Structure formats: structure tokens, C-alpha cells
Structure 1
Amino acid sequence: MRLPVLTIGVTVVTAATNIVQLTVPGTFERFGRTPAGLHGEWWRTVTSLFVQDNGVAGIVSNLLFLALIGAIAEQVASRPRWLLHYFGVGLVSEFVGYLWQPVGGGSSIAICGLTGIVAVALWQRDARLPRWAAGATFLWCGALFGSLWWPLAFTGVVAVWIVRDRPWAVRPAGIAVVFTAVVLSALTNIHGGALVIGVLLGLLTTRA
């Protein structure tokens, strides 16, 4: 397993921003996603990827899954591809957010971009995947369902308990990403749109 330097770097920068958010009043209001991002305050489209909209719980969850999903993606993709999926999908998904959820923020949609890489690698049974990749993916899908109603986050825990480290769970984890993308998109949840974009880009860039 190679050192996930991009994951570490982006996680550290995001964590530092989150500390500022917790200690400086008004940070989220200044840098989060609002309709003002389409009306002069253009920086919000970028900065909203670094501030979190669910307080301490959102910060801890997003940093944890950035570390997990980011590290997995960095094992199976080139670093330019990693950056494209994280920031490219994240920025495009902000515009989905302006349409579906115009007020918010967080790194979760950028993580969904990386999830596209992971989903394709899981389906292909990429030998470079860590043993825990399927479990981490199920947990992330559960966390995304938790954005609809927090108890749904436990679906990921249940899935991990069922599959544990069984080899056959690899492809089902990839299918779980697609299922999550379809359901959340149907409910106009921003994470669904980000997952769809991430998976489609993952298919297009799978050789990179």
C-alpha cells in the first residue's frame, strides 16, 4: 500500500479549515454554499468544499471518510486522476447543489467523486484494493443514507457486519455505490448527483 500523500494533504487542509470554522464565528456563513455563489460571491463554489454544514458530527464524519475513501482511491488511481475526481467532481456537484440544496457545504460531495474511482475498482476486483475497501465503502454508503435520516447510517454498519472480510463482498460494495447514487438522486439529494458524476467519470478514466 503506497503512502496516500494527496489524501493526507487534503485531509490536513480541510481539518485546519474546520478548526477555523469552529473557532471563528461566521466562517461557515461566509464560505458555505448559498445562492450568492451564483450572484457575485463566486468563491463559495470552491470554499464550500472545505467548510462543513453539520457541526462537529459533520466534520468528524467527513474527515474520517475522506481519509478512508481517499486512501483507497489513491491505491488504484494515478494522482492526477485522484485530483480530477476530488476537485473536478466536487466543483461540478456544487452546481447540482445550487439546484437541489442551495444552502450547505462540506467535503462529502468531493469524497463522492473519489467513490466513483473506488466503485469501478471494486467491480473490477482490482488487486491493489486494500482488504478493508469493501467494508469502508459500505460504511460510506450508509453514512450518505444517513444524510436523509440519521438512523439510516446504521445500514452501513449492518452491511459490514454481514459481509465482513468475505471476498465475495467486493462487487456488491461497488453495486451499493450505484444503488446509493440512484436512490439519492431520485430524492434530489446532492450526494446522489455527486455519486452519479463520480461513477461516470470513473468509467471514463478507469485506465488513468
Structure 2
Amino acid sequence: MHTHTLALYGCAAAVVVPGTRLITARPEGRPAGPGRLLAALWRRPVPRAAAVLMGVMVAMAVVQSAAPDVIPHLERAPHGPWWRAATALLVQTSGWPQLTFNLAALAVVAPAAERSLGTVQTPVVFLLSGVAAHVVSMAGWSVHGGGDSVGICGLVGALAAVYTLDGRQRPLRYLSVLVPTAGAVLCLLENNHGIGVLTGVLLGAAAALVRKGDSEGGSERTAVVRS
């Protein structure tokens, strides 16, 4: 891979790896091992949206490996049709290193996101964050390429926002602020993962505030009924 590509995935890892460790930490503060962590995230009831996302991306990994010619028809391209901002999420244009990293990250982040955000919000955040990142890239940041790491970064950003607003462990709440900070730095570097992160942060914050408002409203209604 080219130096630019290595730098790009290094930046993505700097967001995904610490973010994933932050949002999947156990209440007692001790991180679980990989096996126990995956078992906990994929326990019953199985997160359905996460399972669908994993199924789609695994299927597309098989498709692009068996028929590489499909990649140029789906990746983002300069002056390409608008729908390429969505289909670019389906192909990993840097080969097996990208495929392996993104599938592993999605297997951890997607179920964690669904258990925190919900079954509907998780694919919405993934898609909107990913599409926003690819739109900006098509506009001039990086006109060729594809991958779903920008959508994964959006899920990390949403989870960081939720934990910042509602997290139980104060040190982790402070640490979660680093995720949007990293997103802003990535944007300054014209790295599209930053767009994914910040879009996810905004969507996660909105979801957390709506949930908090509904909870407070429900408590007030209960208090009125009891009085």
C-alpha cells in the first residue's frame, strides 16, 4: 500500500481502537479479553441490525474477492453519479488489509452500537456517517476509493457522544471527548474518517438528548399520576 493509504488507516485505527475499548469497557473498569468481549456483545438477544450489517459486508467481501472488476463500478469516482457515495461503503478498495481490519472493527463496534443506540438508529448512523464522508471525498478530498470504515467511525463517534452525555464512569466520560477531537483533527488533515466521526457524534448526541428528554418527561408524568 502507498504511504498515504497507510497514514489513512493509521488515523482510522487511532479513532476506532481507543473508541472501541472505551465504549465496550465493563462497568468495573477492567477490559474483557477478545473472546469474552465478542461473546458479551453478540449474546442473546442477538443484535439484529449488527448481524445484517456484518452479513452484507461479509457477502460483499466474497463478491469483490471473487470478481474484483465489480470494485470500479461501486467505488467513489470524480464526477460520478450521486449513488456512488452509498455504494462506496460496500467495497474495500485497498484489498485484504482493509477487508480484515474493517470486518474485525465492525464485528466489535456494530453490536456495541446497537445495544446502546438501538436497532433502528445503528444502521441510520452507519449509513449517514459513511455517505457524508464519501460525499465530501467525492467533492475533492479523495475522489477515488471506497470502504465502510467511515461508517464504523460514525458508530464510534455516536457511542462516544452518548457516553459523554450519559456515561456512568466519569474518567471514561472525559476520555470519550477525545473521539470528536480526533475527528476534528482528521478533518483538518482532509481525512474523510473525520467526517464520519463528527457526523456520528452529532447523531449520537441528538439521540441521547431525545432519549433523555423522553425519560424526564416520563418521570414527570409518573409523578403527576402518583400525586
TM-score, normalised to structure 1's length? 0.73
C-alpha deviations, 1:105-147, integer Å up to 9, x for none? 00111112211221023323546xxxxxxxxxxxxxxxxxxxx
Gaps of 5+ in 1: 128-166
Q: How many residues align?
A: 166
Letter in 2 for 1:202: G
SS in 2 for 1:79: coil
**Cα contact 2:162–2:205 (8 A) shared by 1:** no
- After superposition, the Cα gap between the structure-2 partners of 1:190 and 1:168, relative to the gap in structure 1 and judged at 3 Å, is same
Letter in 2 for 1:67: A
What does residue 79 of structure 1 align with?
119
Letter in 1 for 2:154: G
Q: Distance in 1 between matches of 2:119 and 2:82?
A: 27
Q: Distance in 2 between matches of 1:9 and 1:192?
A: 25
Among 165, 178, 181, the residue aligned to 1:179? 181
Q: Among all aligned residue pairs of Structure 1 and Structure 2, give the percentage whose two residues are the same amino acid.
A: 30
Q: Write out aligned runs for 1:1-208 (5 A).
A: 2-37=45-80, 41-99=81-139, 100-126=141-167, 170-206=172-208, 207-208=210-211
Q: Distance in 2 between matches of 1:6 and 1:70?
A: 8
- After superposition, the Cα gap between the structure-2 partners of 1:81 and 1:25, relative to the gap in structure 1 and judged at 3 Å, is closer
**Cα contact 1:76–1:126 (8 A) shared by 2:** no
**Cα contact 1:69–1:118 (8 A) shared by 2:** no
SS in 1 for 2:89: coil
TM-score, normalised to structure 2's length? 0.67
- After superposition, the Cα gap between the structure-2 partners of 1:8 and 1:173, relative to the gap in structure 1 and judged at 3 Å, is farther
- After superposition, the Cα gap between the structure-2 partners of 1:185 and 1:15, relative to the gap in structure 1 and judged at 3 Å, is same
Gaps of 5+ in 2: 1-42, 212-227
Q: Distance in 2 between matches of 1:7 and 1:173?
A: 25
Q: Give the superposed CA RMSD.
A: 1.9
Q: Distance in 1 between matches of 2:68 and 2:147?
A: 17
Offset of 1:12 from its aligned partner? 1.2
Q: Distance in 2 between matches of 1:122 and 1:57?
A: 30
